[in-house]
Structure formats: C-alpha cells, structure tokens
Structure 1
C-alpha cells in the first residue's frame, strides 16, 4: 500500500492568500515534491535507504528563503 503524502493538497490549502504568481510557484513545487516522494519510495523499494539533507539555504533578498536539498543514499548489501 502506498502512503498518501497529501503534499499537493496541503500546498493548495496554504496558497489561498497568495498572489497568482505565488500560487503558481507553490503548485509547481507541490507537483515536483510529489514526484520526488514517488522517486524516494521507488528507490527504497529497490533496496536503498534515502535521506534528504539540506545542502544550502537560498535567500531571495527580501526575507524569503528556501532550503536546497541533496540525497544521501545508502545501498543495502545484496
């Protein structure tokens, strides 16, 4: 059974007070996070452990910021 992450739904709920451009960016982010979560689940099912770690923080110059992530992957012995 595949767990439901509800990333897209939560992002849409949070976007109600945002501008159209912000809402579009959040929808794109939610879609990409859904794809990332699916890829992580597939990697785990293929026999590796995956941890996402913040590699840097991007600052937008006006007080906004976002974490940039890298995967740490550990293959299980066969």
Structure 2
C-alpha cells in the first residue's frame, strides 16, 4: 500500500482593498438574510441612511440603521 501524500494548497493572498470589499459583501449578505428572516416573522424592515462617512481623501460610504415595524403598523412620515 502506498502512503498518501498531501501538498499544501496555495492560499489566496488578497489585497487590503479586496479584504475590505469582501467584508462589506459578507456583511451585506448577512443583513439581507436577517431582513428576510424578519419579514418571515411578520415584520416590515426599512433601511434608512443616517449619515455618509468620508475619509478626507475622496472615499465615502453610506451608514444605515434599520427601522422595523410589526405587521400592520402604520408607517410614519
């Protein structure tokens, strides 16, 4: 019987920018799943931009908070 030999797999070495994009994408995916679970539980969910974060070098991003209402609750204007 021959011994099985394993070779280490080459691991990707993403850039700092790619890691940042991946973190945002993963968080957005988790948020979308949470919204779907809330809807399935009988809630309405609205994501509202509360601010825009700037780094002073031309980069920016929207920051949000969820507004969650039970089924049948009236939306305030």
TM-score, length of structure 1 as denominator length: 0.72
TM-score, length of structure 2 as denominator length: 0.72
Aligned equivalent of 2:23: 28
Larger radius of gyration: 2
1:61 Cα shift?
0.9
| Unmatched tracts of structure 2, length 5 or more | 1-13, 73-77
The structure 1 segments of at least 4 consecutive aligned residues displaced by more than 4 Å after TM superposition are none
Aligned length: 59
Flag the structure with higher helix content.
1
Q: Secondary structure at the match of 1:53?
A: strand
